[in-house]
A and B are shown apart, each in its own frame.
Chain A
Amino acid sequence: MAAIRLSVPDTATAGEVIEIKALIQHPMESGFRRDSRGEAVARDIITRFECLYAGETVFAGDFFPAVSANPFLTFHTRATETGTLVFRWTDQDGQSWEDAAEILVE
């Protein structure tokens, strides 16, 4: 559950805008679906995504049920310093999953 895949360049030049891809395995159950017996399936979604670069939030998002299962995001950030990018997803119940990537800025 909740496998995370990240695509972050290993190195970048200072000031370069880098592309980041982040995916987390999650059903994103919308709460609008019914099972085979006609009963509503309870909502279970990730509501928050954050990307922190050297401790500072550079990109964040709020998700609603219309975000597909296994939420996949592509976004950008400016490479400013050598450091760690932390990716954090939080679901509706406050449970969170985290992964990190190192980047070397020359």
Chain B
Amino acid sequence: MNDRFEPMKLTRRSVLLTAASASAFGWLARPALADPEDVTAARTALFGDAPVTEGRVEVSLPPISENGFSVPIEIDVESPMTPDDHVTRIAVFSPRNPLADIAHFQLGPRAGRARIETRIRLGGTQKVTVVAEMNDGSLWSGHAETVVTLAACVVL
């Protein structure tokens, strides 16, 4: 009895317990993941407290991302892109990556069209938020969800 409390004895049970606690600490040592509040915080840090309206921003992600290290994302913001009415900034936020910020873009009437495609890393199944700022200061947002089978960041 009580073999496992005697440090010098290596029993099957003590070895398994050590392995279990080591893996638990390994889990804790991973970078903290962002959550929806971090998305709000990151958005406020970039755009300020202005209210955000849903719409005008279309985000496309594949329904299933087999590889979270490279997920294609398409962003299309509805705007005539004239000197009087154009998109000035677009920001992409993640509620489940170690960092809520993914990328920020700066555009202007010279862009002609507010459409961007790139590839991003996602640390798990999540709903990505894209916020666009117009030249009148109004903020618009759109979302897209994807199921990530192999998450970036978690596979070490």
Chain A residue at minimum C-beta to C-beta distance from B122:
A66
Is B36 part of the contact surface with A, judged by Cβ < 8 Å?
A: no
Residues of A in contact with B (beta carbons under 8 Å apart): 17-18, 30, 32-34, 53, 56-69, 71-78, 80
CA distance A48 to B106 in the complex (A): 11
Chain B residues with a Cβ under 8 A of chain A: 31, 69-71, 81, 94, 97-99, 101-122, 152-153, 156
What are 5 A-to-B residue pairs whose CB atoms are below 8 Å?
A17-B113, A60-B106, A71-B118, A75-B111, A76-B114
Q: Is the CB of A67 within 8 A of B118?
A: yes
Nearest 10 CB-CB pairings of A with B:
A17-B112, A78-B112, A74-B117, A76-B113, A68-B119, A58-B110, A66-B102, A62-B104, A68-B70, A60-B106
- With both beta carbons as reference points, the residue of chain A lying nearest to B128 in the complex is identified as A66
In the complex, what residue of chain A is closest to B30 when comparing beta carbons?
A: A32
- Closest-CB distance, B32 to chain A (whole angstroms): 11
Q: Contact check: which of B104, B111, B153 meets A77 at CB < 8 Å? A: B111
Task: From the candidates B101, B106, B111, B117, name the one contacting A66 in the complex (CB within 8 A).
Answer: B101
